[in-house]
């Protein structure tokens, strides 16, 4: 009995250290807080079309489709860096439905931006007040979400995409 | 003597009008003050996601301004602090709150110090008894 009691603090220290080590080795980046919506259903939304605000994209349109949602804005410099990559994604995966959501932007600025840099999106939504972004937990641009055919968010990337991220993280999920 | 009832009647009307205005002012004033106090309390518990360890209350970042607006709207619609925090945690994750929430993921964090304390006490009692 005496021996067991003497061993208890040592065992507890081992357990605590084990937990801490487990979390330390998880390769967590403090600059990229985990998304609350990862592996969750997409929120209920109605996204107005940037080109015609009378048209809306709703959750029904998300059914049985692999969807990439990219939040961007004409005022966002990193968005311009990743913008050409969406043409490449579209070329490599024509069946992927790519949605661009123009976040807290002036409509004319966004239209000019897409006219000048091209429009790689299948649908461009307009989130004037950031309410759609709020539903997706967006807090910085650009942010990209991948939604599977069951309507679950399976991947989120905070910040601009690059070739390495697309090839290593996104493409395997599309196949 | 003739003049007094005339004055009194007008005075009463005027007084009643002032009284109503005062109550309207008081009610609106107290509602705003309550909201401000509530807003400060809630926003102080929330982290600005785009700042370096600043609360939403202390921050002037766009993100914080947006969240403050949403909280004000929710408060005006009669939502409670718990409901507002739940709404934000659902969208931004637990990272948005400074204090870890009491849920199954955090039971270890909340209760482990007490478990350690209990074990230490048992250990201490055992030692004292022995001595």
* pLDDT range class, residue A76, cuts 50, 70, 90: very high
As a whole number of angstroms, the distance between CA B67 and CA A138 comes to: 12
- Burial class of B92 by CB neighbour count within 10 A (0 to 12, 13 to 18, 19+): buried
- In chain A the domains, ranked by start, together with CATH numbers, are 37-174 (3.40.30.10)
To test the contact with chain B by mutation, choose from A1, A36, A39, A158 the residue with the greatest count of B C-beta atoms within 10 A, namely A36
Give just the sign of the alpha carbon dihedral A37, A38, A41, A46. Answer: positive
Beta strands in A17-158 (DSSP E): 46-48, 56-58, 67-72, 97-103, 123-127, 143-147, 153-158
CB-based contact (8 Å) between A137 and chain B?
A: yes
Helix (H, G, I), strand (E, B) or coil at B10: helix
Tokens representing residue B109 in the block? 């964090």
State the CB neighbour count (10 A cutoff) for residue B45: 17
Helix (H, G, I), strand (E, B) or coil at A23: helix
Query: Dihedral through CA A56, CA A62, CA A67, CA A71, nearest 10?
Result: 40
* Option in B92, B108, B119 nearest A139 (CB): B92
Chain B nearest-CA distance from A137, in A, is 5
pLDDT of residue A160: 95
CA B48 to chain centre: 16
Average pLDDT, stretch A16-43? 74
> Which phi and psi (to 5°) does residue A143 adopt?
-135, 140
pLDDT of residue B4: 55
Quick check: B10 pLDDT over 90? Answer: no
List the single range of A96-110, A117-131, B12-26 with lowest mean pLDDT.
B12-26
Pairing of strands A143-147, A67-72: antiparallel
Quick check: B2 pLDDT over 60? Answer: no
pLDDT of residue B6: 55
Who's near A159: CB < 8 A, 6+ residues apart?
A32, A78, A140, A142, A143
Contact flag A33-B93 (C-beta cutoff 8 Å): yes
Per residue in A123-160, pLDDT tens? 999 999 999 999 999 988 999 999 999 999 999 999 99
pLDDT of residue A21: 82
Tokens representing residue A64 in the block? 């049985």
Who's near B25: CB < 8 A, 6+ residues apart?
none
Quick check: B3 pLDDT over 60? Answer: no
* pLDDT range class, residue B15, cuts 50, 70, 90: confident
Pairing of strands A123-127, A97-103: parallel
Mean confidence (pLDDT) of chain B: 83
8 A C-beta contact, residue B50 and residue A139: yes
Per residue in B19-46, pLDDT tens? 887 877 666 555 555 578 889 999 999 9
- Give the CATH number of domain B3-99: 1.10.8.640
CA B31 to chain centre: 14
pLDDT of residue B20: 86
pLDDT of residue A48: 96
Per residue in B107-122, pLDDT tens? 887 888 898 899 889 8
Per domain, the residue ranges of chain B are: 3-99, 103-131
CA distances to A27, B76, B105 from A22, rounded to whole Å, are 10, 44, 15
pLDDT of residue B7: 57
Closest chain A residue to the Cα of B52, Cα to Cα: A31
Quick check: A34 pLDDT over 90? Answer: no
Quick check: A58 pLDDT over 60? Answer: yes
Quick check: B71 pLDDT over 90? Answer: yes
* Option in B50, B108, B126 nearest A140 (CB): B50
CA A150 to chain centre: 16
Peptide bond into A17 cis (omega under 30): no
As a whole number of angstroms, the distance between CA A15 and CA B79 comes to: 41
Tokens representing residue A168 in the block? 């290593």
Contact flag A9-B92 (C-beta cutoff 8 Å): no
List the single range of A46-60, A106-120, A130-144, B1-15 with lowest mean pLDDT.
B1-15
Quick check: B47 pLDDT over 80? Answer: yes
């Amino acid at each position: 009995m005496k021996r067991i009691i003497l061993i208890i603090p040592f065992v507890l220290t081992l357990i605590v250290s084990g937990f801490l080590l487990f979390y330390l080795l998880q390769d967590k980046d403090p600059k990229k807080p985990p998304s609350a919506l990862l592996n969750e259903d997409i929120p209920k939304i109605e996204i107005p079309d940037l080109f015609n605000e009378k048209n809306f994209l709703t959750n029904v349109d998300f059914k049985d489709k692999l969807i990439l949602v990219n939040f961007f804005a004409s005022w966002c410099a990193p968005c311009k860096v990743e913008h050409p990559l969406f043409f490449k994604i579209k070329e490599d995966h024509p069946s992927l439905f790519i949605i661009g959501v123009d976040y807290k932007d002036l409509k004319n600025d966004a239209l000019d931006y897409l006219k000048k840099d091209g429009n790689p999106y299948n649908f461009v939504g307009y989130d004037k007040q950031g309410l759609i972004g709020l539903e997706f937990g967006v807090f910085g641009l650009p942010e990209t979400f991948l939604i599977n055919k069951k309507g679950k968010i399976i991947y989120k990337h905070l910040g601009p995409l690059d070739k390495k991220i697309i090839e290593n993280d996104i493409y395997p999920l599309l196949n | 003597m003739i003049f007094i009832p005339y004055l009194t009647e007008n005075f009463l009307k005027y007084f009643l009008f002032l009284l109503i205005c005062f109550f309207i002012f008081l009610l609106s004033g107290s509602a705003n003050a309550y909201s401000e106090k509530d807003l400060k309390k809630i926003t102080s518990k929330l982290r600005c996601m785009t700042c370096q360890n600043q609360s939403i209350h202390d921050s002037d970042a766009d993100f914080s301004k947006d969240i403050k607006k949403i909280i004000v709207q929710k408060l005006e619609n009669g939502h409670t602090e718990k409901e507002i925090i739940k709404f934000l945690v659902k969208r931004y994750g637990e990272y948005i709150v400074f204090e870890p929430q009491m849920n199954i993921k955090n039971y270890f964090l909340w209760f482990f110090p007490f478990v350690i304390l209990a074990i230490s006490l048992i250990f201490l009692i055992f030692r004292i008894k022995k001595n």
